[in-house]
Amino acid sequence: MPRVAVYAAAFAALTSSAGAQGLVTVKDVSYDMALVIAQTALESCRAQNFKVGVSVVDRGGHVLVTLRDHGAAHHTVELAQRKAYTSRIFRQTSKDFSQRLRDNPISAGLGTTSGVLASVGGIPIKVGDEVIGGVGVSGAPGGQNDENCALAGLSKVADQLK
């Protein structure tokens, strides 16, 4: 009987420490943070008379917030969402992703991934090196203006991303 107790104790110790980790804690973008990022990005573009759409996605690439300014074309919403998704999923700016496709023909197939857009204006949201979301802006003249507005949105919450 003691031998059975030893085996049972050993089994319990192994399963509790090795195989049954329980909950996993992850960092993610909150709705409130996403709203601040999106509003700040839109206001930054608005200050330059750019009519844009802005979207923020969480760590899973799911849309948390999308805003479209008065006068922004309807398609800016979809493009902003796709830029945000691209920067989250590939853990780099959508500009860098676009360059990656140009520089490496083997990666070209990634550009056909559903929801992806190889265009300037998407920025990953990071805590350290961990990407927890993405922000995308579309509608400003030239992709660099889209990217600058997205960066303005991120700068508003930079102290919370440390």
From 96, 77, 85, select the one nearest 139 (Cα to Cα). 77
| The pLDDT of residue 107 | 84
Query: How far is 136 from 121, CA to CA, in rounded Å?
Result: 6
Output the CA–CA distances (angstroms, integers) from residue 28 to 34, 136, 159, in the order listed: 10, 17, 15
Nearest to 45 by CA among 151, 159, 160: 151
The helix/strand/coil state of 98 is helix
Q: Is 119 helix (H, G, I), strand (E, B) or coil?
A: coil
Q: Which two tokens stand for residue 35?
A: 């709203």
In tens, the pLDDT along 29-82 reads 999 999 999 999 999 999 999 999 999 999 999 999 999 999 999 999 999 999
pLDDT at residue 4 in the model: 58
For residue 21, the model assigns a pLDDT of: 77
> What is the spatial distance between Cα 91 and Cα 94, in angstroms, rounded to a whole number?
9
> What stretch of H or E contains 86?
helix 75-89
117-161 pLDDT, tens digit per residue, is 999 999 999 999 999 999 999 999 989 999 999 999 999 999 999
Q: What does pTM read for this prediction?
A: 0.86
The pLDDT score that the predictor gives to residue 105 is 84
